[in-house]
A = this chain, B = another copy of it.
Amino acid sequence: MSAQHVIATYLIETSLPLQHAAEVLAGEQSTGTFVRVQRESDGIRARFAAQVESIEDLPLTGARALPGTVGDPALRHRARLRLRFPLDNFGPSIPNLLAAVAGNLFEIKELAAIKLVDLDLPPAFADRYAGPQFGIAGTRELMSRPDGAMLGTIIKPSIGLSPDELGELVGELAAAGVDFIKDDELQGNGPSAPLHERVRAVMPVLERHADRTGVKPMYAFNITDDIDRLEANHDLVVAAGGTCVMVCVNMVGLAGLEFLRRRAQVPIHGHRAMFGAISRSDQVGIGFRAWQKLVRLCGADHLHTNGISNKFYETDAQVLDSIAAVRMPLLGLNSTVPVLSSGQWGGLAHATFAATGTTDLLVLAGGGIHGHPDGAGAGVASMRDAWESAAAGEDVQMALRRSAPLRRAAELFGPVRV
C-alpha cells in the first residue's frame, strides 16, 4: 500500500457549519454514508476515509442556491475546501478517481454550491497514463513551424461542403500559408460528408502542396465517433498521410480519449465542445483547471482554451488562466499545446503575447482568415506579421506601420488590443 493521496479542491456553499459539511462530504465520498453502519470500523475509517485538508472562508457571491438545497439561507457560507483522498481507495484510474472526487457529491442537498476546481494528483497517474505523445515539439516538427505562434483555421462553412469544394478550400488555405486546418466539431462522420471522403478530398491537396513547398500543413480530421470506430477512423487518416486527428473529448469521454491515445500515431487535437455543460455554472460542476489535467493525462496533444476577446462567455482572465493551466508542468508529462480560438485575429496577438509570454500556442482564426478583405493569404499574413512583431518586442503601432495586411484587418476587425 502506498501513502499517496489525491487532493481535490472544491468551492462550496452550505448552511451547515463548514467543518461539519466538509466532514459529511469527505465521509460520503469515501468510507461512509450519513450514518455509521456495521463493519465500518475505526480501522477502516483511519485507512480509507477522506480527510479535510483545509477550509478557507470566502465571501458569498450572491448567487442563488442550487435547486433542492436545504438549510437556512441566512446561515450560508462559501468556502474553498480541500479534501485528501487515499489513492488506495481507487488506484490511479481516472474513471474510478472521478467517482470519488466528482460523483454523487453534486447531488448533495446540503450543498448550495459544489464545484470541483482543482486536483492534485500523485505520480502514479503518470505511470499509468501516457499523456501527450507529440506535444509542442512534435506538433511543430510535423507542421514545419519550428518557432513563432502556430497559426491555423477552421473549415467554414462547418458542414455542407462537397468533397470538391472542401479540397478547393484546403488548397486555398494551404497556399495562404496556414500551419494548421481543422474540421469543425460539427463535422463528424455523417452520410453527407463521411470521413473517408473528406480524407480523400483533403490529403492529395496537402501532399501536392508539400511536394511543392516542403511543408505539409497539419489537418485535424474530426474522428469523433463510437469507441469501436475510433481506431479505424484514425488509421484511415494515417494511411492517407494525415498528421493529426481531432476528437471532442466530452463526446468520446476521457476514457475514449485515453483509448485513442494508446493507438495514436499522430497528435490528438482535443476539442472541448460540451465543456460548458459541466463548467459554465459557478455553482456546480467541474472547472477547467481540474478537467484539463485529466485531459492531458489521457493524452491530448492540443487542447482548446478559447482565446481573449472570444465570442463565448468566458472573460479574458478566465481564458488566460486556462492557457496558463495547460502550460503548467504536470507529473513530468509531455507538453500540451493550448488552442486559442473564437474571434481570433491579428489584432489580438500583442495582448495575447503580453499576457502569456509565449508563442507555443496554436491560434485558430475562422473569420480572421477566411474573412480578411484581401483574402485568406492576407489573413494569414496579418496574423503572422502581428505575432512576429509581438514576439520581437515591438508595440502594436509599430506592427501596424509595418504590416499592410494587419492594417487592412484592423479596418474590418479592429480595433487592435494593446
A binding-site residues for B, Cβ under 8 Å: 1-2, 29-35, 37-41, 44-45, 47-48, 62-64, 66-69, 87-91, 93-96, 98-100, 102-109, 156-161, 165, 169, 185-186, 188-192, 224-228, 248, 250-256, 258-259, 262, 273-278, 280-286, 311-315, 366-367, 370-371
Contacts and interface: CB of A to CB of B under 8 A. Distances in A.
A89 B280 contact: no
A227 B185 CA distance: 23
Given A31-B157, A156-B37, A276 B284 contact: yes
Contact of A254 (B165, B188, B253, B258): B253
Interface centre among A31, A47, A103 (most CB of B within 10 A): A103
Given A33-B158, A39-B157, A158-B33, A107 B188 contact: no
Contact of A40 (B87, B104, B157, B256): B157
Copies per assembly? 2
Binding site secondary structure of chain A: loop
Contacts of A262: 228
A93 B313 contact: no
A206 B276 CA distance: 45
Contacts of A224: 95-96, 99
7 contacts: A1-B191, A31-B159, A67-B280, A90-B189, A108-B313, A253-B253, A253-B256
Contacts of A102: 274, 277
Contacts of A186: 29-30, 89-90, 99-100, 103
A120 B369 CA distance: 37
Contact of A107 (B32, B88, B96, B314): B314
A63 B281 CA distance: 12
Given A67-B280, A91-B189, A95-B188, 8 more contacts: A39-B161, A47-B160, A48-B160, A93-B189, A93-B226, A98-B250, A108-B312, A277-B278
Contacts of A169: 39
A96 B192 contact: no
A97 to B, nearest CB: 8
A305 to B, nearest CB: 12
A295 B379 CA distance: 44
